[in-house]
Each structure stands twice: as structure tokens, then as C-alpha cells.
Structure 1
């Protein structure tokens, strides 16, 4: 609940106004039956027109006041709830931007989308309801009971039995309903995940003719969602008939007992009518509480899910005691190990090596040997489980994260382009880049000529994830995005796999002119030979380090890799 209160604090004055208007409505509604009883007793029963006009005018004024207070209250409630949702989404998005890769792996993207949409909307609607009717309903019940007892204690005493029993019943419904709707939210996450996977993998699904299987998978998830949602709604909704049945019995008792007292002359018709009106208001408020308990049950589950995200400790913001100077580019791994969450074995184990500034190093190894994981430790996308990592002989933890990453150009294994233009995607690496810088980066990435062939050139729109471009074009735009920032450390994660040999050779020649340290993951010996040194990984450990010639002489694993790619090799005994 701290999350709710922290985001509502800026609207304290608006909340006070909204609740003031709510209590004006409440006071008006509680006074109306009392004045109605007086009008009947002193006006209608006494045939006194002056009293009828006077109390009729008073009741008309109260009705108008209630209407005006309700309209203004709705305005404030809508404003506060919408602004709350806006600020909460902003905080969630900002928080997730600072998540480590390990934290992102804990919560599926489909679940995050649900929190941004469905969960925030549930809480927003509940806040609107809280400002509009949630506070009003219990006070209306309490106030109606008190006013009825004031009018005639004996007749209204039935409330002292029925109302507490109904409130206890509602509390049980609220607790049970919250758990049921929490389960519903889980199945919504599952549905979203299946939909996202299917949309992203539609080509693969069709090419493998697996549409029927995916339809069955979705139908099963959809069935579970529908079943659990139905159970939750049925459970909460069944409380309303129970509550109304009890209240109707209470009103029948009031009518019977009231008639008896009127005949005996112990009370008046106006008092009985007033108590009946209070009973009707109590019934209405209790039915509102049923609706409120339904909304609150869903909101409680949503708040817990939102808090789960916000409770994750994100990366620290820029701090004054962190190192913010320009780096030179030397990298040192000192007995570094890393294990993914829930993994049984470390992905990389006791890795140690040193890379000089402006050195070009190729990293090769079999699939699963830990190459990409090693890369992701350098910009602190993951934290080492053991050991230390240094840049320019300074521990990585001493660097300001934002400053460090601004000096690293990282090209991931799978190119990811954002919806927008080619210009937007390249300048994503440096938002204040000039036209000349953008074009030079594109030329060095060997994509400029291809871009100029498009009708709109750099203003050509790319589809979601770059679907309108070929794999090679996506890779080269992704490389240009890294080059435009003129990094001190350039990380190339097997990002030339879709390029032909001639284009790749030109690309590597252009990159070699950059004044930076270059690490490139590759599966091609032809590419690795261009590096100053090669690091060979095997099962998460450094198997060998050296030049191409040195590894040919001393590493049987490297010899096997070279031979598998039909490269000339001379074995040394």
C-alpha cells in the first residue's frame, strides 16, 4: 500500500476536496429521511401546508446540494485516479529501464505488460471508486443505523443484529476474493505470454505446420482463465443476493413492528417512513460494498504484483562518488565466474585475462561456452558471481554506470531495431549526432549505399523489430548504431553472421580505424585471424590465448576448429 500512498501524496489537497464533497453528499442523504418524516408528521398528517412547503423546500435544496457535490466530486476523483495511473506507469517504466538482465529474466515480458496495462487500470478504477463511493458506503451504513436509532430505538434495533453480521460476511468475501483474483491475474499473464510468442514466431509456426498445436495451447490457457474468472466473479457476486435477502427481512420486520407501534400510538407514520428510508439506504450501501469488495479484491492482487516489480532493487542512479572520467579501454578479468539464477553450474568459471587499450581481440568457442555472457559482464548488464572485473585498472563497481555505458558500443548477437526510421535507429546510439556523424557511421558499417537505394533513404520506415529489412541490413544498422558514439570499447557479438565475406572484410577494415578496444565474438577463423589476439573458450573456461599462429601450435582444440573450416594448418609436434 506504500506504493499507492506515495503516488497519491502530490494530490493531497485534491483528495481532501473530494472527500469533503463526499461527506457533504453523505450528510445530505442522512438528513433527507429525517426531514421526510418531519414533513409527514407535521405537514401531511397535520394538514399544514406551511410545513409542507417549508420542509419540501428544504428537501429540494438538499437534493440540489447532493447533485452538485456529486458532480464536482466525480471531476476530482477522475483527475486524481488518471494522474495516479500516469505517474505509476512512469515510475514502473523508469524502474524497469534500470533492471539488470538477471532481473528481467525473473519476470516475463508478458507479465510486465500486464502490470503496465491491466494491473494499473484495476488500481486506477479502485482509486476512483474510493474517492467517489468507497468511503461513503460504510459511513452511510453507520450513519443510517445511528439516525434510525435516534428516530425510534425499538423499531430500529433490528439493525444492531443484521448489520454486524453482514459486515463480517463482506470481510470474508473480500479476503477470499483477493486470493481468487490473484490467481486470475496469473492466468492473464499466461495468455499474454502465449499471444506474444505466437505473434513473434508466426513464421516458424506456419513453416512447421504447428498452428493446430498452438491453437490447442491457447484454448487450454483461455479455458483456465475463463474458468477461474467465472469462479471469482460468481463467488463475489453471490454475496449481493445474500445481503439483500437479510436486509429485506429486516425491512419486513420494521414494517410489521412499525405498524404495531403506530396502532398502539407509540410512534408516528413519519418515523416509520424515515426508518424504512434509512433501511433502504443501508441496503443500497451494502450492495455498493459488495461491488466495492469485488473491485478491491482485484486491486489488492494488482497492487501486490506491481509491488513485486518495484521491490526489485534496480541499478543505482548516477552517484557523485562514482568514477565519471573518460576511459582508455583496457580490460582485466580476475578469476571471474558467473552463474545464472536457478542454474546448477556457472556459465563461466575462473576466467582471467588482460586486454590492452586499442587492442583487437577475437573470442571463439562452441555454442554455450560463455562468450555472450562474458561480453555482458563488461557493461555491467550482469554482475559477476565471483571475482573482479577492471577497466583501466579500476574495479568496475567504481564506475558510474551511465558514464561507462556511454563509452561502450555493444552490438548484440541478434540485431534489434525499433519501430521508426533508419535515421532514428542509427542515432539511437547518440541522440545529438550530426548528419555527418550518422552518414560516416553508416558508411563504416557498409550500409550507406543500401540506405541510399531506398526511396526515402535515411527516412525509410522500418517495421517492428526491423521486419522490413534483410538480416544483413539489420545487422549493419545495429553496428552503425554502436559506431556513431565513437566508443572506447566496441563489443561485437557475432554480429556479422549474415554478411558475405567481401562486405565483412570491408566492415572490419573500417572498424580497425576506430580509436578503441575491440572485442568480437565470431565463429569464423577467417575473421578471428584479423585480431591481435584470440581467446578460445571451452565449457566456460579459457582454453587458450594467443595469436592465430600461436594457437595453431599449442591448442589442439583450435586446430580442430581450423580444420573443420577447411583452413590450411600446419601441425607442430
Structure 2
């Protein structure tokens, strides 16, 4: 319940709607409660006495109460929906915003499947629960209490039946509500597994097909899906038992009322209309309890969702910005001092005692074997991760002393895996610089040697990419990712092995563009090919998370056995390493 209280702040902006909805529902319930009493008077005071005018008058009263009840019900639905929909919209917005600020560590902690569930089914569950709370949870108890009070006043002879039926109904509803809450919590956990499995399989569909593992993945998904089926079926069956059981108890009450009523009518101590009114009120008692129970079940399902969402909202990311920091102009000199980092703290460090200095405007090449820590090193610069030990400095200031958004605005980063969005090519480039002009886009595409293939597309810059840019080749995606980094005109340009799928001619064009257009920027170029970095001012050779050699291309060919081995291996494979 503490999580529910924490989320109640999202209702406060719409508190007026949240008040009007129950008030309108009270009007509808009040009118519904009058109906059996009016019916009783029609039978006992109108039909029994043959008073036609009285019957017509009471019929008009019944019609009026029905109309007022209709207005109350419609009004309640409108304002309850407004409250719940606005609540869920604001909550979803804040939740998404929180997730976008997550570090990779936080994302791994919650998993993408769970986060997707939080943004979709969990919020939908809360929206449904709030709607029911404002509508049915007012209607149920008020109808239950109102019906009991009216029976006590108008049909006291039959009131003992309620004293037996109501406690039995209340017990069963409490028991089934508590049980269903536990069952639906287990259902939600399996929903997470299903979402994770679907996301994982769809993201890796090409690998699955390439390794002919389709049947295996289908079988795995079927196992998870079967778990969801079994738990959902058990929860639904438990809820399904409640309806017939309560109806059976109410029917017993009706039989008892008819039996007792028949005796009292025969003795002229009770009128027929009273019996009919009592049966109606008994049904109202049942519906009041049932609807209240349904709301409690929905709340029982919603509380775990609320707890999960609050955990995400309260997650403290280690990547924070200092407050009221001066935004000094970033020139681009970079210093690493004894930097250590590991993705999982209990395992061996990925970066070990990394120290170097790079002057603003220099080009740094980083090369090494797979898993040597090349990509991890450059991810420290835009603070995609924070170091475990040591310090990263830009222009002599600790990188943590910069405003995070200001720092990243100075960085143009093209990651190893080109991530493009399902928008137009132009819109993807505008992710790098929102205010970029058409000329800026053309220049960035030209610098990345992407204009040649973009011009062949029917819509050119307005060509819409599919999800994951599956309608482009690997090399085309890499060039667009570079263009997105180029368009920023950054002080720090990071290219993380982005020419691996680019031909040598295109790579040469890109290298010339980097040299001429980004002379003032500090450039970090990660590559597995010596030809991509041989012109760098400094080259770092990495092995097992350490910089084992440092120098120019010519110096390393003389002093670094590992660099010599890579040069020899690439030459044997026909890869050019020199001019």
C-alpha cells in the first residue's frame, strides 16, 4: 500500500475529477435504491387497491429516478475515465523519462522485458484499478449499506435472513480476494518472462534462423507460454468459482425469503410488495459485495504493479550531474589517471590502471584483440559508465564535475553497433543536432560517404527506415551512424569500429573528411584494422584491459610485438596496413 500512496501524487492534478466521479455515482446509487421501494408501493398501494392514478404517478416517479440515475452513471464514467487516463499518461511519461536516464547497470538490473511490462501492462493495470475504484468501489459499498438499512426499516420481518446471508457472502469474498491477489502476482512474474523471451527472440531472429534454431526457440517460448497459461487458468478459475458460489448463497436467501414471506402473507402480517422489494434489495446486497470484491481483486492485482513501478521510479542511477555547475567551454583535452572498471564488480576488471593524456585536436587510434577493452574505454568519455577507481578528466576537470547533458552535447559518438530509429534518414541525423539545416544534413552525409547510396533511394533523405533499419545494409547503417555523429560538429568525436562493414575506398573518403572537417576536434577511433588508425597522432595498443603499447604507427612497428603481429596477420590476409 505504501507504493500506492507514493503514486497518489499523480491523481492530485485531477482531484476535482476524482471527487466529481464518486459524487455522480452516489446519485446513481441513491436512485437505484429507491426503485424497489417505489415498486413495493406500486404493488401494495396501487395494484392491490386498484388505484390507477397512483400507479401512473409512481410510474412517473420511477421513470424520473431512472433518468437521474442514468445521468449520474454517465457522469461518473466520464470523470472517472478522465482521472484514470490522465493519471496513467502522466505516470507513463515520468516512468519513460526515468528509464531514459538509467545507466546500463540499472537497465540490466530490471531487464528490458520487465521495463516494457512496467510501461504497458503494469500501468494499464493501475489505470483499470483507479477507474474501478472511482466507479464501482463507491457503488458497491453504498448499495450494500443502503440496501441493508432500507430492509431494516421497511422489511424488518425478513431482516434475519440478511444476518445469515451477508456474513457468509463476506467470508467467501474475503477469502477468494486474498487468494486471487497472490495468484495474479505469480501471473505477472510469468508475463515478465514472456515479454523478455519475445523481445530476445525478435531481436535475435536472424541469428536464430542462421543457426537453424527456430524450433528450439519455439519450444522455449512454448514452455514459458504454458507456464503463463497454467497460472492464468488457475487464477481465473478461482475467480470463476466466486460468482456461482455467491449466487447459490443468494438463491438460498431468496428461497428463505419466499418461504417466510408466504407464511407471513398468509397470516396477513406482510404484504407481497415487501417480499418483492426484499428480494431486490437482497440482489443489491449481493451485487454490492460482488462489485466490491471485484475492485479488491483488481487492487490486489494492481498493488504488485504499483510496487514494481515505484522501484523503477526510485532507482538511483550512479550517473548524476552536479547542481549549479558552471558550463565551461569544452576544448577536448582528455586525461585518464589510473582508471579501473568492471561491468560486474565481483569479476575481473575490464579496464586496468589506464593512464594517458591526449591534447585537444589530436587523433587517437585504439586497437587490440577482441575483448581487450577498446570499446569500454571510449564509453567512459560520454559517461555511459563511471569508473570504479581512478579519474577521467576533460580539459583538466573531473568528468563528473560537468553537467551530464552539457558534456554529452560536446560528444559525437558512433557506437560499434549502429542503432537507427524507425524514422526518416533526415530525422535520424537530427538526433545528432535538432536544429541542423538541410545543408548540414547534406554535408554530414557527404563526410560519411553516405550521400551516394542515399541519392539512389526513392525519397532520398526522407526515406523511412524500418525498425532496426533492416532495409539497409550493415555498411549503410554504419555510415548513417557516422553522419549522425558528424552533424554535431563535436569537440570530442568517438568512432567505435564503425568502418568494419565499409569498403576501403569509402573508408579512405571518410578518413579524409575527418582530417579536413574535424581538425579541431579530439578524435578517438577504435578499429580492428590498422589501416583505419595508422595516421593517428597516438595509437594505443590494448590487451587484457591494459594499454600495453603507445606511439605512432611507425614507432609501434618497431617497438610493439603485439602491434607487429597484428600488422603481419592483416598483411597476410591482404589487408593494407601502410600506404
Q: Is the 8 A contact 2:321 2:402 kept in 1?
A: no
1:115 aligns with one of 118, 121, 125: 118
Residues 196-211 of structure 1 correspond to what in structure 2 (within 5 A)? Answer: 196-211=199-214
Where does residue 26 of structure 2 map in the other structure? 23
Q: Secondary structure at the match of 1:334?
A: strand
Write the distance in 2 (CA, Å) between the matches of 1:325 and 1:236. Answer: 62
Q: SS state of the match for residue 238, structure 1?
A: helix
Aligned residue in 2 for 1:571 = none
* TM-score of the pair, normalised by structure 2: 0.91
Matches within 5 A, 1:3-152: 4-152=7-155
User: Structure 2 CA distance, aligned partners of 1:456 and 1:45?
Assistant: 82
Indicate the residue corresponding to 2:224 in structure 1: 221
Aligned to 1:461: 464
Describe the SS at the equivalent of 2:550.
strand
Question: 92-101 or 203-212: which moved more?
Answer: 203-212
Deviations, residues 510-558 of structure 1 (Å, cap 9, x unaligned): 2123111111111122323211112222222332333334444443333
1:247 matches 2:258: no
1:453–1:270 Cα change, 3 Å: closer
Q: Is the 8 A contact 1:444 1:507 kept in 2?
A: yes
Q: Which moved more, 1:374-383 or 1:557-566?
A: 557-566
Q: Distance in 2 between matches of 1:316 and 1:150?
A: 66
User: Which residue in the other structure is 1:322 paired with?
Assistant: 325
Cα–Cα, structure 1 residues 367 and 92, in superposed 2: closer, same or farther, change >3 Å?
same
Q: 1:377 to 1:161 in 2, by over 3 A?
A: farther
Are 1:531 and 2:536 matched, yes or no?
Answer: yes
Q: Residues 268 and 456 from structure 1, CA distance in 2 versus in 1: closer, same or farther, beyond 3 angstroms?
A: closer
Q: Determine which of 506, 509, 521 is the counterpart of 1:506.
A: 509
Q: Which stretch of structure 1 is more off in the superposition, 39-48 or 375-384?
A: 39-48
Q: Name the CA distance, whole Å, in 2 between partners of 1:346 and 1:149.
A: 76
Question: 5 Å matches for 1:178-197?
Answer: 178-197=181-200
Q: Which one is further off, 357-366 or 31-40? A: 31-40
Displacement, 1:260? 3.2
8 Å CA contact 1:179–1:301 kept in 2: the answer is: no
Which of 505, 508, 519 is the aligned partner of 2:524?
519
Q: Give, in whole Å, the separation in 1 of the partners of 2:567 and 2:132.
A: 69
Q: Which runs of 5+ in 2 are unaligned?
A: 575-579
Query: Which shows bigger deviation, 558-567 or 313-322?
Result: 313-322
Look up the match of 1:159: 162
Distance 1:42 1:416 in 2: 79
Contact 2:368–2:542 (CA under 8 A) maintained in structure 1? yes
2:447 to 444, 448, 453: 444
Separation of aligned partners in 2, 1:161 and 1:392 = 81
2:272 counterpart (263, 266, 269): 269
d(CA) in 1 for partners of 2:500, 2:182: 49
Q: Secondary structure at the match of 2:431?
A: helix
* Displacement after TM superposition at 1:232 (Å): 1.1
Q: How does 1:237-386 map to 2 (within 5 A)?
A: 237-314=240-317, 321-341=324-344, 344-386=347-389
Q: Is the 8 A contact 1:244 1:287 kept in 2?
A: no
2:577 maps to what in 1? none
Name which of structure 1's ranges 352-361 and 160-169 shifts more when overlaid on structure 2.
160-169
For residues 45-81 of structure 1, what are the alpha-carbon distances to aligned partners after superposition, in whole Å with 9 as ceiling and x for unaligned? 3444454344333222211111121122222223323
Work out the CA distance in 2 between the residues paired with 1:343 and 1:239.
Answer: 50
Mapped contact 1:551–1:558 kept (Cα < 8 A): yes
Q: How many residues align?
A: 568
1:559 and 2:559 matched? no
Measured after TM superposition, the shift of residue 485 of structure 1 is: 0.6
Paired residues of 1:181 and 1:301 also in contact (CA < 8 A): no
Paired residues of 1:429 and 1:484 also in contact (CA < 8 A): yes
For structure 1, list consecutive stretches of 5 or more residues without a partner in the other structure.
569-573
CA distance in 1, matches of 2:200, 2:139: 45
CA distance in 2, matches of 1:164, 1:537: 75
Corresponding residue number in structure 2 for 1:431: 434
In structure 2, what is the Cα distance between the partners aligned to 1:508 and 1:176?
A: 66
Change (3 A) 1:316 1:553: closer
How large is the Cα RMSD of the aligned pairs? 2.4
Distance 2:157 2:318 in 1: 65
TM-score by length of 1: 0.92
Q: 1:478 to 1:450 in 2, by over 3 A?
A: same
Residue 546 of structure 2 corresponds to residue 546 of structure 1: no
Shift of 1:266: 4.1
Match of 2:571, SS? coil
In structure 2, the CA distance between the partners of 1:322 and 1:176, relative to structure 1 (3 Å rule), is: farther
Deviates more, 1:485-494 or 1:325-334: 325-334
Query: SS at 1:565's partner residue?
Result: helix
Specify whether residues 254 and 407 from structure 1 end up closer, same or farther in structure 2 by C-alpha distance, changes over 3 A only: same
Could you report, residue by residue, the CA deviation over 1:124-149 in whole angstroms, capped at 9, with x for unpaired residues?
22222222222211221122122212
